[in-house]
Structure 1
Amino acid sequence: MKKRILSLVSAALLTGAGAPPSPPSDAADDPFVWLEDWTGPRAMQWVEAENKATVAAFRNDPRYAGYYSDALAIASAKDRIAMPMLVHGRIYNFWRDADHPQGIWRYTSEADYATDAPRWTTVLDLDALSKAEGRKWVWKGATILDPEERLVLVNLSDGGEDAVTLREFDLETGQFVKGGFDIPTSKQNVDWLDQDTLLIARDWGEGSMTKSGYPFVMKTLKRGAALSAAEEVYRGEASDQVGTYPIILTDGSGNRAAFLYRGVTFFGNETYLVTDGGVKRLPLPTKSNVQGMVDGQVLIQTSEAWTSGGMTVPAGALAAVPLKALQSGEVLKPHILFAPDARQSIDGVTATKGHVILAINDNVRGRVQVLTPKKVDGGAAGWTSRPVALPDNATISIASATDKSDTAYLSVAGFLAPTTLWAMDAADPKPVQVKAMPARFDATGLVVEQYEATSTDGTKIPYFIVHRKDMKKDGSTPTIMTAYGGFEVPMTPSYAAITGKLWLERGNSFVLANIRGGGEFGPAWHEAGLKTKRQIIYDDFAAVAQDIFARKLSSPRKFGIYGGSNGGLLMGVAFNQHPELWNGVVIQVPLLDMIRYEQIAAGASWVDEYGSVSVPEEKAFLETISPYANIRKGVKYPTPYIWTTTKDDRVGPQHARKFAARLKDYGIPYHFYEDTAGGHAGDADIEQGARLQAMQMVYFSQRLEEQ
């Protein structure tokens, strides 16, 4: 694949007296709508006052300094694994540490990378660039031109926003290209059509962005030409929930093709082939994605069943179709490469020069296969599959691969097993460990167990718990639990070094709940909680907590929960629906006003997941779950900690602000903090991450260890 982005995540009845209040139906009924003014003076004054109180509550705690120091030391440790990206016969890596808090982009040779102390050459220093230009540039990846892999478009964000500036960079000279592409800030999607031409969708002016703030007009932009001279290639619709995206595929056999996605809904694409005569829509299922190409075979991952040419590809599968068939318009006869069972899902697909590396989740445990195309009788394409022997009970991710060779790197991590990196030749898949991160916390005496809770409809919901082997099963152990529950995103075991150091080392426990809405078990696990069916996600989450209490692994007084983004919505609903189950709730960069979410930041892009207030049935359901609308006076809630970032242009800080303001209006205790940088990921620099982690752990220590 040509484009590579180099980047650095019981019953649910309302409790308490009385029914929930009628939620505001529009801005006129909302007393805190003024906090939706993203960076308005009044809103920012409110933020400043709230921050002052929260900083005093957490950073004056005697534990804060130690937590912050430990978190920063882990985040900036120089003996971390420098995760590789194979480019132009070199290993590239984006790196942050105490000396480079915003990061450097650097490279070394493949041979030197295999040593214990590689010699790195810096090609781009974001700290120096930021200082020179008076901006806080945040790395958002780079798009590389094939086949030479010399020219790249560097994606730079001011403070962490999704909107980026694009600048052409020469990897050989280590300099920005004088007179090269230099495209001003916008949410934009880009790829190289050739050395002198970009396929780009961006804000071209009025009528070129969707309601959710994404570009839907694709143009070609020639080297040296003004943006106004770009020529339109394709136009979606302003009503599209997402936008239009280009993707160029290449393979090790020299095949090359340009595709466009039109994101009609968040999960539904129209896929087009770019030809000399214009764009041609392809007969691919709407819930599918092109994942790469090898030996002229285009890889298609499905999220719905697809019948074509007498073949039916199940949902959640990986299939291949010939590029020539896509180009000629003949009836497609997909070849199924992998079809999951009920407890499996695809976690990653990458093409090498002659093979496909497939990472899957099998009952929330990582597995890897190498798939290889072959010729069978009659010349038709066939495939073989070989398993790759790697450590069990871990999450396995494809760290890097390229269509220029069959070399690949795989990362392996578990709750108590520090991340290791394995090198592999896909033509002879016998992986060898080449890097290992040192342990960041003392795991002596800790164990990982997997249990299942029974949800309200009888479905078994798996969860992991990390705890001391000698833990007393009397409910006295402080425990924190997280989950996500949306967008077909799986939550799998990982080595959370900071959580281990700041929480597990203190004798406490950690829980990961694999609730519905996520992708742990494929599309069906996700679709079980879409739109008006979403209450089952919240039931699953509560059921896991109740199962933990029934096993006396913890108790409500010692139990805290946290989650971000869609997981922040989960926390808000859990806060409202089951305040009796937790004594601490951390709500991170959240959606909380589900009546007005379509009007805030990129909210309109998520209607496919949540539903829309424009549909009466969906509006009625959103009114029952919207955390902002369902806070009630007179209910004993656990004091929550809500944090967000001003630079979040995806979800927006408005949700968190309004939720806190309503709590204050009702006389309900809370903590609120809004960091002024970092975007939706809170990733402006390593110090910000350490600060946010330390404040969160102070909160949990205050709420769970002292009670």
Structure 2
Amino acid sequence: MKNLLLGAAFAALSIGAASAQSDVDVMKNDPYLWLEEVEGERALDWVRSQNERSLAVLEAHPAYDAMLAEANAILTSDDRVPSVALRGGYAYNFWQDKDAVRGLWRRMSQEDYLEGAQEWETLLDLDALAEEEGENWVYAGSQCLAPDYTRCLLTLSRGGSDAAVVREYDIESKSFVEGGFELPEAKSSVAWLGQDRLLVGTDFGEGSLTASGYPRITKVWQRGTPLSEAKQVNEVPAEDIWAYPISYWDGERYKGGIFHGETFYDYNWLLLSDEGEVSRLPLPKKASLSGFADGDFIIELKEPLEFGGETYKTGALIALSEDMEKAQLIAEGTDKIAIQGAATSKSDVVVSMLDDIEGRMVRFEKRRGKWRGRDIRLPEGGVVGLRTMDPETGTVIATYENPIQPDTFYLVKDRKPEEIRQSPAFFDADGMVVKRYEATSSDGTKIPYTVIAKEETLKSGPAPTVQYGYGGFEISILPTYGATAGKLWVERGGVYVNTNIRGGGEYGPAWHQAGLKGKRQLIYDDFQAISEDLIERGITTKEQLGILGGSNGGLLMGVSMTQRPDLYKGIGIGVPLLDMLRYDKLLAGASWVGEYGDPDNPEERPFLEKISPYQNLAEDADYPRPFFFTSTKDDRVHPGHARKMARLMEEYGHEFLYYENIEGGHGAAANLDQAARRLALQYAYFAGELGLIGYEGE
């Protein structure tokens, strides 16, 4: 059982003596635990003083004002193509611009959207709602009831935190339902079981949450009854990660289930009978349920499955019959081909794939009981995206893009896409090039990366370069169109680099699993090998190379700074994990033990001690001046990580810049104005540190 921190007191509970003592030592030797008090007066006073000091530096940069104006213009442009969700004959969209800062939830008929109409029906004005209710509402999504989709469960967050309220909304009357379903602020999860019933996972009171702060109890809630009378149908252990209610529409009615995460990667997919009994899908622990189509569950495998005398490989997509008696292969990956995701409608499945990091999309339909696929003929050589799929008709809106070509939107009813519109170009791509290279990592593995720059920039010799990385949680970093990076950085003569290091999903589950827990140094080696390769190719120099990452990528930045301070001139460290000996005690951190390892496990702790940036910061090292940015309202990655690391640098006399948005959630911004400011600060920082001087007209 893990140690628990209760206020300022520490209690060791039934763990090994060595592990307990090591954690006690961490706390005794950490003078900055007070910075973990998210809204503590002393902590916020320190934050405000650092904000004031750092903003005075960053906002004084000659390019800052222009960059802020450019970022604002891009983020709030009326020329952006609205991305929609198709359902019930309508196209639904959430829109933010300079006038609708918090945003408008709106719709128009699907026919009008496809014809390029501009007149939207506003369903909910978040700015007006926030003013009326005196709340800083941030829209966090909707779940609408099939088959009419006119009753919806809206999720609204205060300031952008993961914890949010859920309120039932009626589209026809454009109002919240009086006496309808409503949940107070929590990290809740809900699923429709019918017009008058919900599956609910929320904070039901003491003992109802996991150690990670997520629901562990699932109940069925009947309309017209108080939540306290909801009937419990399942409970998972507190040391597990979560239990999320789920449901699927089989074309006639809803059927319920539970997504039970034992760890971040080990799952049980549970089905709920009409009588309230729970059964488990016969799947390995590392498998994901992608949807339900034509009587089959659609499953992505992260490890092999033996079923019915057949073995289905890691990375395969399979169909499992609803009676759980038959399985068949839909698609499978190879060393170069990775399944990225699947979407389902009533009768078909559309699969997004990467073929050596180039996009493909395939539509599968069941014929004579067998799933058969045909490629959707989208352009090659870039990134394809499935934006929405109509759950009834299977109509798809897909996109194609590459780093210097904005999204083109396609309507796909069968196989042949029909171009319907194109996003505007937000930077001048004339003379820009996209080049792909490979670096050799410490174990000999070839690691791909993409360089975006003006051709003349590359020809004229080393240039200021921003290298972006993430490397975790099987998240693929794809060479998409980067409007703000292109405008604020590349157009000014900078080089931007996307990296495909291990830990991501670019080459399937194996690419991710190669860097789990104690193998994680390979991820950092990959990233540093790309940095050295950029220098060897003459694209940049150590004095012109900056690196950027957020969240897990913020950890990557912290490790890169403490391991190779000689290699970088600038480091942007966003919403980061940095104290890897206490990360599992902070907010949602316990849920990531499957990714990083357990600090309380004597076998896993030594590696975390070796790489943890906070504990490995040296007083006598020569570090570049980093820029930390985070958010007070981030209730996923605790702002204490960035605060403590920056404060320790202050104690040691190292230079740093620090900006903490007092609201904003895990994205470090609660609205478009805040997002534009963060981007301008970020690129002004790199311009100053790396010597970018392309400020014509500024």
Q: TM-score, normalised by structure 2?
A: 0.94
Residue aligning to 2:159: 159
Residue aligning to 1:337: 330
Residue aligning to 1:661: 647
Partner of 1:440, secondary structure, is coil
User: In 1, Cα distance between the equivalents of 2:557 and 2:58?
Assistant: 21
Partner of 1:467, secondary structure, is strand
User: In 2, Cα distance between the equivalents of 1:423 and 1:25?
Assistant: 59
Residue aligning to 1:420: 408
User: In 1, Cα distance between the equivalents of 2:612 and 2:24?
Assistant: 10
| Farther-moved stretch of structure 1 (410-419 vs 346-355) | 346-355
Shift of 1:613: 1.1
User: In 2, Cα distance between the equivalents of 1:397 and 1:216?
Assistant: 33
Partner of 1:93, secondary structure, is strand
Shift of 1:257: 2.7
Residue 515 of structure 1 pairs with residue 529 of structure 2: no
Residue aligning to 2:543: 557
Partner of 2:371, secondary structure, is strand
Residue aligning to 2:146: 146
Shift of 1:348: 2.1
Residue aligning to 2:13: none
Partner of 1:135, secondary structure, is coil
Deviations 1:53-93 (A, max 9, x none): 01111112232111101000000001101001112210010
Partner of 2:299, secondary structure, is strand
Contact 1:68 1:690 in 2 (8 A): yes
Contact 1:395 1:412 in 2 (8 A): yes
User: In 2, Cα distance between the equivalents of 1:258 and 1:23?
Assistant: 41
User: In 2, Cα distance between the equivalents of 1:561 and 1:522?
Assistant: 25
* Counterpart mapping for 1:51-450 below 5 A: 51-240=51-240, 242-252=241-251, 254=252, 256-277=254-275, 278-325=277-324, 332-375=325-368, 381-425=369-413, 428-450=414-436
Contact 2:194 2:254 in 1 (8 A): no
Contact 2:466 2:497 in 1 (8 A): yes
Partner of 2:416, secondary structure, is strand
Q: 1:643 to 1:696 in 2, by over 3 A?
A: same
Q: 1:597 to 1:694 in 2, by over 3 A?
A: same
- Correspondent of 1:568 among 543, 554, 559: 554
Shift of 1:398: 0.9
User: In 2, Cα distance between the equivalents of 1:505 and 1:23?
Assistant: 49
Deviations 1:304-323 (A, max 9, x none): 11111111111111000111
Residue aligning to 1:678: 664
User: In 1, Cα distance between the equivalents of 2:448 and 2:487?
Assistant: 25
The amino acid of 1:677's aligned partner reads E
Shift of 1:324: 2.3
Q: 1:447 to 1:23 in 2, by over 3 A?
A: farther
User: In 1, Cα distance between the equivalents of 2:365 and 2:557?
Assistant: 43
Contact 2:87 2:391 in 1 (8 A): no
Residue aligning to 2:43: 43
Shift of 1:704: 0.7
Contact 1:311 1:333 in 2 (8 A): no
Contact 1:475 1:549 in 2 (8 A): no
Contact 1:565 1:651 in 2 (8 A): yes
User: In 2, Cα distance between the equivalents of 1:89 and 1:473?
Assistant: 52
Contact 1:474 1:552 in 2 (8 A): no
Q: 1:471 to 1:61 in 2, by over 3 A?
A: closer
Deviations 1:553-602 (A, max 9, x none): 11111110000000000000001111111100000000000000011110
Q: Which segments of 5 or more consecutive residues in structure 1 lack a partner in the other structure?
A: 1-21, 326-331, 376-380
Contact 2:661 2:669 in 1 (8 A): no
The amino acid of 1:129's aligned partner reads L
Contact 1:221 1:231 in 2 (8 A): yes
The amino acid of 1:392's aligned partner reads E
The amino acid of 2:467's aligned partner reads M
Shift of 1:473: 5.2
User: In 1, Cα distance between the equivalents of 2:179 and 2:89?
Assistant: 27
Contact 1:473 1:551 in 2 (8 A): no
Residue aligning to 1:612: 598
Residue aligning to 1:16: none
Shift of 1:155: 0.2
Partner of 1:349, secondary structure, is strand
The amino acid of 1:271's aligned partner reads W
Partner of 1:51, secondary structure, is helix
Q: 1:256 to 1:210 in 2, by over 3 A?
A: same
Residue aligning to 1:5: none
Residue aligning to 1:11: none
Contact 2:154 2:169 in 1 (8 A): yes
Q: TM-score, normalised by structure 1?
A: 0.93
Shift of 1:280: 1.1
Contact 1:445 1:468 in 2 (8 A): yes
Contact 1:187 1:203 in 2 (8 A): yes
Deviations 1:601-634 (A, max 9, x none): 1000000000011111211000000000001011
Shift of 1:402: 2.2
| Farther-moved stretch of structure 1 (412-421 vs 89-98) | 412-421
Residue 503 of structure 1 pairs with residue 496 of structure 2: no
The amino acid of 1:662's aligned partner reads L
The amino acid of 2:496's aligned partner reads F
User: In 2, Cα distance between the equivalents of 1:255 and 1:429?
Assistant: 29
User: In 2, Cα distance between the equivalents of 1:43 and 1:475?
Assistant: 45
User: In 2, Cα distance between the equivalents of 1:205 and 1:299?
Assistant: 35
Shift of 1:507: 1.3
Contact 1:250 1:403 in 2 (8 A): no
Deviations 1:210-242 (A, max 9, x none): 1111111001111122121111010001000x2
Partner of 2:666, secondary structure, is coil
| Farther-moved stretch of structure 1 (392-401 vs 134-143) | 392-401
Contact 1:313 1:334 in 2 (8 A): no
Q: 1:121 to 1:706 in 2, by over 3 A?
A: closer
State the identity %. Answer: 43
Partner of 1:435, secondary structure, is strand
User: In 1, Cα distance between the equivalents of 2:673 and 2:507?
Assistant: 36
User: In 1, Cα distance between the equivalents of 2:440 and 2:427?
Assistant: 33
Shift of 1:475: 5.0
The amino acid of 1:310's aligned partner reads G
Deviations 1:350-376 (A, max 9, x none): 11232111011111111000111111x
Partner of 1:560, secondary structure, is strand
| Farther-moved stretch of structure 1 (22-31 vs 60-69) | 22-31
Partner of 2:559, secondary structure, is helix
Residue aligning to 2:444: 458
Q: 1:572 to 1:321 in 2, by over 3 A?
A: same
User: In 1, Cα distance between the equivalents of 2:75 and 2:673?
Assistant: 8
Deviations 1:251-297 (A, max 9, x none): 45x47532211111001111111002311122111111111111101
Residue aligning to 1:7: none
User: In 1, Cα distance between the equivalents of 2:130 and 2:382?
Assistant: 38
The amino acid of 1:673's aligned partner reads Y
Contact 1:348 1:397 in 2 (8 A): no
Identify which of structures 1 and 2 has the higher relative contact order when contacts are C-alpha pairs closer than 8 Å and 6+ apart.
1
- Correspondent of 1:596 among 570, 576, 582: 582
User: In 1, Cα distance between the equivalents of 2:495 and 2:379?
Assistant: 24
Q: What is the RMSD computed on CA atoms of the aligned residues?
A: 1.4
